[in-house]
Homo-oligomer: A and B are copies of this chain.
Amino acid sequence: MTEHSLTEEIRQIGRRARNAARMVMSASPAVKAQALTILAELLRTRQAEILAANTLDVQAAATAGMDPARLDRLAMTPAVLAAMAEACLQVAAMPDPVGVIETQWQRPNGLLVGKMRVPLGVVAMIFESRPNVTIDAAILCLKAGNAVILRGGSEAIRSNLALAALLHESLKRSGLPPDAVQVLDMTDRAAVTELCRLDEYVDVMIPRGGESLVRAVCAAATMPVLKHYMGVCHLYVDEGADPDMALALAFNGKVQRPGVCNALECLLVHEKEAPAFLPRMAERLGAAGVTFKACPRSLPLLGASALPLQPEDCGREFGDLTLAVLVVDSLDAALAHIDRYGSRHSEVICTNNHAHAMRFVREADASFTAVNASTRFNDGGQLGLGAEIGISTSKLHAYGPMGVRELTTAKFVAFGSGQIRE
């Protein structure tokens, strides 16, 4: 495709999304719920065509030499489809956020003022690999009354287009415009660049994927971006913390799923706890395959296989079973370390000291700060938002997991009886 025709094609997609957004914005809650219910049914009855398309994607990716971890994330199964259908029904059953007046107050002149939740308009999402993101993003945007443009990775293109066919059928059967969800079949980088220039039609861009994708979209986008950078998450084991609890939190944070953004990357231990805690920790996590990068004070406590911590290991998202370990003097030292090296994602303290708990929760600068709980809970499903469209690590608009509510905004509404300004 020539550059000129690609630009025009993407602009037409933007215009169609804007027109669809006008209709979806005022669709009734019942109509939107119906579309989601029909989609759930189609994900069951037309399983075979989705799995067939996915098999072609997986075969092509395997031939191209994709590594097993990524292949595993690409592959869909009947269980994956059943979970998608379940997500559709859950989102359908959630209260519709659009048009709700959340708070109201009255002015001295009798003007009744409120804030009403309204859709953002057109959302564009650029993501990689997992085809379930296609369904999650589409159903959350639809529930929030937005139109969405989805551009998934080339490796999942057949799966995504097969899912798009079901999405379009569910929209049509509910009387909603099929352009409310557009899945791009253009998988080259140029299409991403063009999307990033579409500020006339797109209200917000959401990149979800590796750091290079997120950085490229942030640099190119002319509209606001809700970004999800890397997660460099810490657990601070305070003086007097319950060592069994601290051990369970460290194990869960690092071992349960080391590749994700809310996994634990760095353990900070108070110097009073280190001598007893660190050898136990090293034994338990070491048995699960964890290797340690240790500061000079923790190195002697972590066994022969521990390596010395390098300067670049602080603030690093290892993405595997590597854990940085540092001994600190105090809560203040732990907070200072997090302030310097954290990525504003997920920060946890294990403590029995109430004042320390409250200080940590307030002062650690992250989208999720917690006491005596695993970093792995920083997730829309785990926190009770229903499905999520990503985890924002920037502070504007949304900070942390973004669900349906974060795909809306609030405008001021006022009901008067002829009030004028004096």
Residues of A that sit less than 8 Å from B by CB? 22, 25-26, 99, 105, 107, 111, 113, 116, 118, 120-121, 203-204, 224, 226, 242, 245, 248-249, 251-252, 256, 339, 357, 361-363, 365-374, 376-378, 382-384, 394-397, 399-401, 409-421
Question: Once the chains bind, are B252 and A361 in contact (CB under 8 Å)?
Answer: no
Question: Once the chains bind, are A417 and B372 in contact (CB under 8 Å)?
Answer: yes
Specify which of B116, B367, B370, B409 is in contact with A396 (CB 8 Å cutoff). Answer: B409
Min CB–CB distance A31 → chain B (angstroms): 15
Min CB–CB distance A331 → chain B (angstroms): 13
Specify which of B368, B395, B412 is in contact with A400 (CB 8 Å cutoff). Answer: B412
Given contacts A111-B373, A111-B377, contact A394 B362 (CB under 8 A): no
Question: Once the chains bind, are A409 and B395 in contact (CB under 8 Å)?
Answer: yes
CA distance A369 to B99 in the complex (A): 12
CA distance A377 to B411 in the complex (A): 14
Question: Once the chains bind, are A413 and B361 in contact (CB under 8 Å)?
Answer: yes
CA distance A107 to B370 in the complex (A): 14
Given contacts A382-B107, A414-B371, A418-B372, contact A396 B120 (CB under 8 A): yes
Selected A-B contacts with CB under 8 Å, 9 pairs:
A26-B363, A252-B420, A252-B421, A373-B416, A374-B420, A378-B412, A396-B397, A400-B411, A400-B412
CA distance A116 to B365 in the complex (A): 12
Question: Once the chains bind, are B420 and A376 in contact (CB under 8 Å)?
Answer: yes
Question: Once the chains bind, are A373 and B418 in contact (CB under 8 Å)?
Answer: yes
CA distance A388 to B374 in the complex (A): 39
CA distance A204 to B399 in the complex (A): 14
Specify which of B111, B363, B383 is in contact with A107 (CB 8 Å cutoff). Answer: B383
Residue of B at shortest CB range from A227?
Answer: B224
The 10 closest A-B pairs by CB, nearest first: A373-B416, A252-B420, A370-B414, A376-B421, A397-B397, A245-B418, A395-B409, A224-B396, A372-B416, A396-B397
